[in-house]
Amino acid sequence: MGMRIRSQMLKAGGLVLFVAGWAVGAGAQTAQGAQTSAASGTATRHSAVATRPHVAATRPVTAATPPMGWNSWNYFAGKVTDKDIRDTADLLVSTGMRDAGYVYVNIDDTWEGGRDANGKIQSNEKFPDMKALADYVHSKGLKLGIYSSPGAKTCARFEGSLGHEEQDAATYAEWGIDYLKYDLCSYSGVMRAQFPNDLAAQNKMMREAYEKMHQAIGKTGRPMVYSLCQYGWDSVWEWGPQVGANLWRTTGDISANFDRMSLIGRGQAGLEKYAAPGHWNDPDMLEVGNGRLTHDENVTHMTLWAMLAAPLIAGNNLTQMTPDVASILMNKEVIAIDQDALGRQGDRVYAEGPVEIWAKSLKGGRKALAIFNFGETASEMRGIGLHLKEAGLPAHVTARDVWAAKDLGRIGDDTKFTVPRHGVVLLVVR
Ligand code: GAL
């Protein structure tokens, strides 16, 4: 296809943005394999802090929509093996998840072996041949992601990339890696040791470490989605794009329970101005299908992440996926809200007590409206309007109930829904 990577500095609204893209002529593919016309720079909502990149129509943005795929950590953690990755690749295809958009298969921490005499990173005994694994994953029409750290050790104390950044990026490219999650881990100790009482100097070191790997990836000539993981420290959303990040974690780790998931999701309010094609807030990987999340809790999780234009990186064990979980992860209309080409993250428009209403702008002048009930009993919305005005909508709208897959016709601010405990009603309105 004659792909050619380039790392380009673009000035947009006074902010220098690094946009990793590659040109393949008209009708180019994004890193997710989806046809795109790229970010057109039509958005106006960004503050002075972050401005949507102006990119010519023929120059697609890596991760023009939030990346979708699967990651090994949330379920397999340190036990993940080559076989788990192959099984997952097979199941992404046979369950329909690949065709629903989940194309990245990401190996998280604990694949790393030591280094050979030349300093080249080796995979450990759980992953006997990384190149062969990449070939297998690619043969299924999927892409392979990997994990490392700017520190000498990863969070699980495996080999990190410190001092080997270019060499590691080159090895990833040689293997055929398409996505890198780069997790701060032990590098925070290096920063603290060097500048014990100087947070600004520590922050500078962190940014430089992330930029170093960005440059190293650029040098390989292979497009890779670049995912920052430093737990949302130092307002990473303000500078992530400048170090080449396509996504950046905004929080500490998620876990498979409703309290942690909803705390993280609700905590994204206010970050919407930092999301744009190529640059996404990442509230961490999905726990849908993990732990003891109920049907309504899984629906809430998926809805909240879609409203946030969050990366949809599933984290469940596909060998045990129930039809219910499959239908939640693969709901096409919900995925379309997440992947909407406008690239707008939704925001909270109403919160009083357990009911919250969030709105997300969609292309074609439509909006997604989510009525969440974080409370312990079902809500009939007594005394609670839909807050259409606060969502930037007229007094009456035409609505579709997405999870019920039902057109509702015209509704107004006083239309009542019953929202289950830990559940949500998701509407698309125009
Ligand atoms: C954490 C990270 C997790 C996972 C883990 C692996 O720092 O937030 O998502 O990658 O490290 O050790």
Whether residue 233 contacts residue 250, with contact meaning beta carbons closer than 8 Å, is answered with no
Alpha carbon of 229 to ligand 1 centroid (Å) = 8
Is residue 228 within 6 Å of ligand 1 at its C-beta?
A: no
Residue closest by Cα to atom 8 of ligand 1: 253
The residue-averaged pLDDT of 330-353 equals 98
Catalytic residue at 401? no
Lowest-confidence region among 17-21, 171-175, 184-188, 424-428: 17-21
Is residue 183 within 6 Å of ligand 1 at its C-beta?
A: yes
pLDDT for 250 beyond 50? yes
pLDDT for 36 beyond 50? no
The residue-averaged pLDDT of 303-325 equals 98
Query: Which residue of 70, 71, 72, 73 sits with most ligand 1 atoms within 8 Å of its CB, as the best mutation to test the pocket?
Result: 73
- Which of ligand 1's atoms lies nearest the C-alpha of 108? 10
Is residue 107 within 6 Å of ligand 1 at its C-beta?
A: no
Residue closest by Cα to atom 7 of ligand 1: 155
Whether residue 179 contacts residue 144, with contact meaning beta carbons closer than 8 Å, is answered with yes
Cα 149 from Cα 163, distance rounded (Å):
11
Is residue 401 within 6 Å of ligand 1 at its C-beta?
A: no
Digit-coded pLDDT (tens) for 91-114: 999 999 999 999 999 999 999 999
Among 95, 38, 105, CA closest to 67: 105
pLDDT, residue 57, reads 53
Mark out the alpha helices in 157-198 (DSSP H runs).
Answer: 165-175, 187-194
Identity (one letter) of the amino acid at 298? N
Whether residue 189 contacts residue 151, with contact meaning beta carbons closer than 8 Å, is answered with yes
Whether residue 88 contacts residue 145, with contact meaning beta carbons closer than 8 Å, is answered with no
User: How much is the pTM?
Assistant: 0.88
pLDDT, residue 59, reads 59
Paired with 71 in beta bridges are 106
Alpha carbon of 106 to ligand 1 centroid (Å) = 12
The residue-averaged pLDDT of 207-213 equals 98
Catalytic residue at 183? yes
pLDDT, residue 251, reads 98
The residue-averaged pLDDT of 66-85 equals 98
The residue-averaged pLDDT of 276-280 equals 98
Is residue 233 within 6 Å of ligand 1 at its C-beta?
A: no
The residue-averaged pLDDT of 326-350 equals 98
Among 115, 99, 105, CA closest to 73: 105
